[in-house]
Chain A
């Protein structure tokens, strides 16, 4: 099983600033990585697939990078609606998809 480890567990950032979230895979997943955003009481929403491609309707301030075992989600200028929990997910080891444990992005 591929283990996905996200860091930090909690990130405190002020609105307007940049946020950088990390995700590490226990073995290479190539570019088969997605990022999801989840707000309290809501279902997850797809942000990024293929490690770096924004899903339909996702603002340009969200960007993904990396390949292999190291990945990053960057939010360039935080808006109030961006404070949420973010999960990475690998699908290289299809169909045994695995998620990271999540990073909570909170207002500083």
Chain B
């Protein structure tokens, strides 16, 4: 079964740090770009960060740039998000999501997040 399982969430004080993990199974993890997406309580989805299959390309939303670091270990089928200098506005459920290139014909291939984990809650509060 294709699966993503996040862990590492919890309660942390403002200015603190936390490291999230996402364990992948059921597919060739090293072949896919991966993403972190978050959702504040009662709010919509916000893309946070992306990492290519070989870690060659890494991108961040402006809201987390300089504070969060995405990484992966293909040998361990794992994705990580190191979160430093946490703020109250970082409080959210954090999802990892697989990015796939989908379509039938080469001329019409599209990217989408086709597999999501169940999420892990991060609460930043004093």
A interface residues with partner B (beta carbon < 8 Å): 31-32, 34, 36, 38, 42-46, 49-50, 53, 55, 87, 89, 91, 94-102
Contact of A44 among B57, B95, B102 (CB under 8 A): B95
A98 to B117, CA, bound (A): 19
Q: A43-B116, A87-B45 given as contacts; is B59 within 8 A of A49 (CB)?
A: no
15 CB contacts below 8 A, A to B, read A31-B110, A43-B95, A43-B116, A43-B117, A43-B118, A45-B116, A49-B103, A49-B112, A55-B102, A55-B112, A87-B44, A89-B45, A89-B112, A95-B50, A98-B47
What chain B residues lie within 8 Å of A97 (beta carbons)? 35, 47, 50
State whether B110 touches A55 (Cβ < 8 A).
no
Nearest Cβ on chain B to A21's Cβ, whole angstroms: 14
Contact of A55 among B37, B108, B114 (CB under 8 A): B114
Nearest Cβ on chain A to B102's Cβ, whole angstroms: 5
A34 to B118, CA, bound (A): 20
Q: A50-B103, A55-B102 given as contacts; is B110 within 8 A of A99 (CB)?
A: no
Residues of B in contact (CB 8 Å), total: 23
State whether A53 touches B103 (Cβ < 8 A).
yes
What chain B residues lie within 8 Å of A87 (beta carbons)? 44-45
The A-B contact count (CB < 8 A) is 68
State whether A99 touches B45 (Cβ < 8 A).
yes
Measured CB to CB, the nearest residue on chain B to A34 is B112
Nearest Cβ on chain B to A61's Cβ, whole angstroms: 20
A45 to B4, CA, bound (A): 13
State whether A34 touches B59 (Cβ < 8 A).
no
Measured CB to CB, the nearest residue on chain A to B111 is A91
What chain A residues lie within 8 Å of B89 (beta carbons)? none
B46, B108, B110, B113 — most chain A CB neighbours (10 Å)? B110
What chain A residues lie within 8 Å of B116 (beta carbons)? 43-45
Measured CB to CB, the nearest residue on chain B to A42 is B118
State whether A50 touches B110 (Cβ < 8 A).
yes
State whether A95 touches B59 (Cβ < 8 A).
yes
Nearest Cβ on chain A to B57's Cβ, whole angstroms: 8
What mask results when residues 1 to 43 of chain B are scored 1 for a CB within 8 Å of chain A, else 0?
0000000000000000000000000000000000101000000
A45 to B114, CA, bound (A): 7
